[in-house]
Structure 1
Amino acid sequence: MTTLFIADLHLSILRPDITECFLTFMRDEAPKAEALYVLGDLFEFWIGDDDDSPFHSSIKNAFKTLTQSGVACYFIQGNRDFLLGKRFCQETGMQLLPETAVIDLYGTPTVILHGDTLCTMDENYQAFRRTVHKPWLQSIFNCIPLFIRRKIVTNVQNKIRAQKKIKHMSIMDVTPQEVVSVFEDNRVIQMIHGHTHRPNIHQHTTSNGLATRIVLGDWYTQGSVLVCNTDGNSLENRQFSLSDQKSQ
């Protein structure tokens, strides 16, 4: 059996090529797995579990079909879908995990997270993150009519895109000291995360010994899947279909 990890799909009605690759993955590959972990940013932006648009319903149905087939599905919120909550998980059969969780991955204790909390040099983002994760603020936001929330999110997205253009790439990557702290605080020597869109396997020296950090890839130009089993871990790509690529 295998365990699969994905992150940073940024699913959107504007990118049917990504959606088609994802739905193919959910139909043909994920049912053969023991478990599927989604480590955040499944959607380009999630404005609330009451968003029942046909597009979002199709994604929910894909997860519901998978969990009903017996595959365990777990979700960690990302910086784009931190409002995805209990209702979504109840409707799909997924299990919502805390922002940092430790799992037993075929005998290796492994810490999993989205990865944005590792980027401590991006102080402006971290301040924004602390604000939007306040429960009282999220409760107020969820009471706002859906069409107004969409306008608010559009404005926020535009500001984020503008800020990214002037940020140095180094501050949007992980802070090495923070990575080591997460390893040591959780007493593990393996970590899996997304967020940075820089798929790779890194080695770190910690007080617990040599530790491995696996970074998941995004789904902008191809699908990205981490396949884990008793033989080891493999970062793999899934190609978009030619017809979908031509439509872009």
Structure 2
Amino acid sequence: MQVHFISDLHLTADRPALTVVLERYLTGSARTAAHVYILGDLFEYWTGDDDTEDPLNHHVADLLAALARTGTQLHFMPGNRDFLLGREFAARAGLEILQEPTLIDLDGQAVLLCHGDAECTDDLAYQAFRSQVRSPAYQAQFLAQPLAARKQFIAGVRMKSEQAKAGKQAEIMDVNAAAIAELLRQNGYPRLIHGHTHRPALHIHEVDGHSCERWVLSDWREDSRGAHGEVLIWEDGRLNRLPLD
């Protein structure tokens, strides 16, 4: 049995080559998976499920739904860019929306899944913003606004976010070791898989006498080599990375 994990695709009409990589994956190697877990930031931003005029949203939903019809089970955990993605889009795409964190069983081994931004606790300004926008009251108020107003607001937030990141030390935007330790402790010292930080690596955390693996997923990006991504694959009791282009 194969189980696949991806995150941080940041799909947008401005970077169509990334959608091509996704299409090749979903019509190719993803069809060998019993489960595909998307751990946040599938999209660069999400203004609401009622944004039905965006061709990218339709295309991605169709691609995911086609994979789901083959029998692969699809799971989505909201990220910091697409936490407003809801039941309507999930139904169109054949996705199960997961709570964060979610504990799963892989061949008898406990694996904890999260996006990863909640554990970046050194970034106090971001955590305050996250707490505000994740509240149900804030989201209901935001989604009640006209779609055009929401898009304009999100464009402004994205610009401010890029400016803020430019002035922050890289360590602040990574996960906090104590926060990771507490997350592992609360969930019985499992293996952890997350995205968000764009720092793919395997870390070993020693927590209360337990040795716990932390796998960080790769972001998908365009660079001098073109557009490419990566999937983390569980098979035969092991995790391995598969590059995509």
TM-score (norm 2): 0.95
Distance in 1 between residues matched to 2:237 and 2:91, nearest whole Å? 33
Amino acid at match of 2:65: K
User: Secondary structure at the residue paired with 1:228?
Assistant: strand
RMSD of aligned residue pairs (Cα, Å): 0.9
* Structure 2 residues not aligned, in runs of 5+: 223-227
CA offsets, 1:181-224, max 9 Å, x none? 11110003300000000001110001261000000000013211
* Aligned residue number for residue 184 of structure 1: 185
Which of 228, 234, 241 matches 1:235? Answer: 241
1:165 is displaced (CA, Å) by 0.4
Amino acid at match of 2:155: T
Amino acid at match of 1:124: A
CA offsets, 1:114-153, max 9 Å, x none? 0001100000000000000110111111111111111011
CA offsets, 1:7-39, max 9 Å, x none? 000000010111100111011111111000000
Distance in 1 between residues matched to 2:189 and 2:109, nearest whole Å? 8
The question of 1:50 aligning with 2:53 is answered no
* Aligned residue number for residue 4 of structure 1: 4
Distance in 2 between residues matched to 1:88 and 1:172, nearest whole Å? 29
* Aligned residue number for residue 127 of structure 1: 128
Amino acid at match of 2:241: L
Which residues in structure 2 correspond to 1:6-155 (within 5 Å)?
6-52=6-52, 53-155=54-156
Amino acid at match of 2:22: F
Contact 1:102 1:109 in 2 (8 A): yes
Contact 1:106 1:229 in 2 (8 A): no
CA offsets, 1:158-178, max 9 Å, x none? 000100000000000010011
Contact 1:184 1:208 in 2 (8 A): no
**Which aligned segments of 4 or more residues in structure 1 are displaced greater than 4 angstroms?**
none
* Aligned residue number for residue 213 of structure 1: 214
Distance in 2 between residues matched to 1:107 and 1:180, nearest whole Å? 22
Distance in 2 between residues matched to 1:9 and 1:223, nearest whole Å? 8
Contact 2:115 2:194 in 1 (8 A): yes
Contact 1:188 1:208 in 2 (8 A): no
